[in-house]
Each structure stands twice: as C-alpha cells, then as structure tokens.
Amino acid sequence: MPSLKDLKNRISSVKSTQKITKAMQLVAAAKLKRAQDAATAARPYAERMAAVLANLAASAGGSGPKLLAGTGKSDVHLVVVMTAERGLAGGFNSYVVKLARQKILSLQAEGKTVKVLTIGKKGREQLSRDLGSLLTGHVNLSDIKGNDFAESAMSVGLMLTKSYEAGEFDVATLIYSQFRNVISQVPTAQQLIPAKAPEGAPTIDLGGAIYAYEPGEAALLEALLPRYINTQILSALLESSAGEQASRMTAMDNATRNAKDLIKALNLKYNRARQAQITKELIEIISGAEAL
Amino acid sequence: MADKLHFSLVSPARELFSGQVDHVIAPGTEGEFGVLAHHAPFMTTLKNGIVRVLEGDAVKMRIYVRGGFADVTPAGLTILAEEARNLTDAKAEDVDAEIEAARLKLLALDAGDAKHFALHEQIAYLEGIRAALAN
C-alpha cells in the first residue's frame, strides 16, 4: 500500500507529463497545418510534371535514356527509406520501417543484392539493429527549418542519379509514408529509378496535331527525368513531414487523454487512502476513550 | 480580341499563376517564343529569363523563371519552372540582401562541397532577377 505522500508525488508527476503531451499536441497541430499547406501547394507542380512526362514517355516509346528504360537487369536494388528525424509520433516511423524490412527481405529471398539509403534518423536507428550491414548512406534532415525541403530533395536526387549512372544499382525504390488525411498515413513503396510514368495519367488529346520538341525529344527527356525524380522525392518529403505531424498529434492526444484517466484513478485512490487513515485515527481515539 | 489562352505557371513550391491571358512570351533555350491561343502542340526547355504575360499589347505581368519546361497543348500553356518570382512584387533591396547572404554561404563552404554548384546557380538566378528589376 503506497503512502499518501507517494500517491501525491505520482499524481503531480502524471500531471506534468500530461502538460508536456498536451503542449506537444498543440505544437504538432500548428505544424501540421503548415506542412499540409506546403504539401498541397506543391501538388500542382508534381501533377503537371507527371502529365508532361507521361506525354513525352509515350511518344518516346520503349527507348530513351537509361533513367527511363532501365539498365536491362535488376540485380542490385537500392531501397530508400524515408522516416522522421524524431520519435514520439505513434507508430509512424515503425510502420515505414516494417514495410521497408518486408521489402528488403523479399528482395533478398529473390537473390537480389540490396542496398539501403536512409533519410531521417529514426529509420536508420531501427534498421541498423538487424540490417546494419546493408546501410550505404544516410541523409540528415535535422537542419531543415519549416518545410523547406527543396534543397535536400535536389541533393538526394542528384546523388541517386549519379550513383545510378555509375552503375551502383539497377532499381531504386522509395519507401515513405503517404499522407491520406490526418488519421491515416499509409506506408508506400514507389519505384523511383527507372522512372515510371504514372499510370492513369490523363493523355492529352492533340486533335491530330504533332508535338514539336525543342531541342529534340531525347534531350528533353534527359533534362526532364532528373527533375521528375527530384519532384517525386520532394513531394514524398512533404507528405512524410505532414504525416509525421499528424501522427504525432494523434499520439499525443491519446497520451493526454490517457494521463487524464490515470490522474482520475490516482485521485480516487488517494482520497480512499486519506479517508481510511482518518477512520483509523478516529477508531484509535474512541477505543482509547472507552478504555478509560 | 481573339480567343484567350489558358496559361499556368507552377514552381515546386506553389502555383504562381493560372488564368486566361492573350499572349505569353517565354525564354526558350533555343530562343524566345510567343504563345497565342490555338498554338500548335510544342514542348521546350527554358533558360533563366523573364516570362511576359500580355493583355492586348500591354505587358500585364513579368515573372522571372529559373529554367524549367514549357508545354503547349490544345488546353493551353503550362510552364514548369524550377523556381520563379513575380517581378511586380519583388523589391530590389530584398534581392540584394539575398545575393549577399548566398555569397556569404558560398564563402563558408569547403572546397569540393557538393553545394557549390547549387549556390552558384542560385546566385546567377538572383542576379538575373536583380538585373530584370533594374530595367
């Protein structure tokens, strides 16, 4: 049976935890709004880019630069795992890592060589436990303020295309958390290289006219593909960041509610213990008086 | 006036413009080109430069773009810019300050840092905006 003082200490400790979780929830809510706005603002560009690429890829047919056509084999796979820099966001990071692990194991079962590039600290921490030998690189996101991911998206894209040209891998897959809405973030695997024109992109009706390309088709594709890959990485980063905040907000909301329940239960226990002590003291006084 | 052209200009960060205009002049890598309504399908890369939006014969808006693509379809003209800034609300002093900040960043970098190239491009872009604002 804990003493009254113990109970009091516990109640105050739970109360301060609740204050922290509440504050984190409010901060996450504010950040979510901004992250969501940034993700929405970036969408038109990504959509148009996809439409342009689909258009161009369709007219290029099966040929085209290596980034589109592939190296002709699929022996070495690069898995890019995008997680958050911080935890305390419910299952957000774990879900992404779980999907990544599944993907890696199934690729290994097929006899492929797998390399892993991590973006965000949490994914690296979780994967290094059992798949540490596969990690080839890491991208740190902790210096980024707000939602200014453009620069990192560009450098990741550049790094990927460079090592692809150098023949370090054949296929690159990005695993990130897709932001559906505030309560649902879906871990998704998306093939980055060779670039895939999005399926179901609206084809443009040219009314029988023929596209003119300046400078040639091949040169355009060459210029467009790296940018298309950058754009995909950028929108994944933005969605991932919105998802992280949404997930943290929900997790902290639950934690706050849980703390509230805990405080209620502890208060009841405290009051009972206090009452029991008073009764005990009264009995002692009364029986002492009777004995006289 | 003849038919209107649907024109939209988007950068990765946001959509800068979308609407009906008369005439757009854009800086293609192989030369400036103008697009009116019912232009033939056409696609090109862009170089750094000013996109001019014309209403009748008057320039309604000037936007400085840093590279990208222009895509003309029967539905209209779409410009995908790497980065873009509307020159009507840009201030010369702000751009000067940005150039200064980018130069300082460049000095702070170690030789061989992968960011050199990006920063040089950034500075060229900002200087382009500055020059466009000057005239």
A130 contacts A17 by C-beta, under 8 angstroms: no
Residue A79 has pLDDT above 60, yes or no: yes
Which residues in chain A are closer than 8 Å to B14, comparing Cβ atoms? 41-42, 44-45
Domain CATH number, residue B21: 2.60.15.10
Q: Which residue stretches of chain A are H helix?
A: 4-60, 66-69, 92-109, 121-131, 150-165, 217-291
For A40, nearest residue in chain B (alpha carbons): B14
Is residue B51 located within the same domain as residue B11?
Answer: yes
Pairing of strands B42-46, B49-55: unpaired
Burial (CB count <10 Å: 0-12, 13-18, 19+), residue A1: exposed
Considering chain B, what is the average pLDDT of its residues?
85
B46: number of Cβ within 10 Å = 21
Which residues in chain A are closer than 8 Å to B11, comparing Cβ atoms? 45
pTM for the complete prediction? 0.83
- Count of domains observed in chain B: 2
Considering chain A, what is the average pLDDT of its residues?
87
Is residue B79 located within the same domain as residue B105?
Answer: no
Residue A207 has pLDDT above 80, yes or no: no
Residues 85-104 of chain B with CB under 8 A from chain A are: none
C-alpha closest to that of A153 among B64, B113, B13, B78: B13
Considering only CB atoms, B10 lies closest to which of A44, A205, A224, namely A44
Q: Does B19 touch chain A (CB under 8 A)?
A: no
Is residue B26 located within the same domain as residue B81?
Answer: yes
Q: What is the domain extent for residue B121?
A: 92-134
Share of chain A above pLDDT 90, in %: 47
Interior angle at CA A289, CA A283 and CA A290, nearest 5:
90
Domain boundary among B52, B70, B86: B86
Is residue B62 located within the same domain as residue B122?
Answer: no
Residue A197 has pLDDT above 80, yes or no: no
Q: In the block, which residue shows the tokens 């990504």?
A: A46
- In chain A, domain spans: 4-21+252-291, 30-248
Question: Tokens in use for B49?
Answer: 């430069």
Is residue B74 located within the same domain as residue B12?
Answer: yes
Considering only CB atoms, A45 lies closest to which of B30, B74, B80, namely B80
Distance CA A256, CA A17 (A): 8
Which residues in chain A are closer than 8 Å to B78, comparing Cβ atoms? 48, 52
Burial (CB count <10 Å: 0-12, 13-18, 19+), residue A279: exposed
Is residue B75 located within the same domain as residue B119?
Answer: no
Is residue B22 located within the same domain as residue B81?
Answer: yes
DSSP state of B44: E
CATH class of A30-248: alpha beta
Which residues in chain B are closer than 8 Å to A46, comparing Cβ atoms? 12
For A46, nearest residue in chain B (alpha carbons): B12
CA torsion sign, B108 to B112 to B115 to B117? positive
Which residues in chain B are closer than 8 Å to A210, comparing Cβ atoms? 41
> ipTM score of the complex?
0.77
Question: Are B11 and A48 within 8 A, CB to CB?
Answer: no
Residues of chain B with pLDDT under 50: none
CA torsion sign, A137 to A142 to A145 to A146? positive
Is residue B76 located within the same domain as residue B113?
Answer: no
> What angle do the packed helices A4-60 and A217-291 form, to 10 degrees?
170
Mean pLDDT of A104-110: 92
pLDDT the model gives residue A7? 93
Interior angle at CA A68, CA A138 and CA A158, nearest 5:
30
Q: Is the peptide bond before A187 cis (omega within 30 degrees of 0)?
A: no
Is residue B80 located within the same domain as residue B23?
Answer: yes
Is residue B11 located within the same domain as residue B65?
Answer: yes
Does residue A197 or residue A42 have the better pLDDT?
Answer: A42
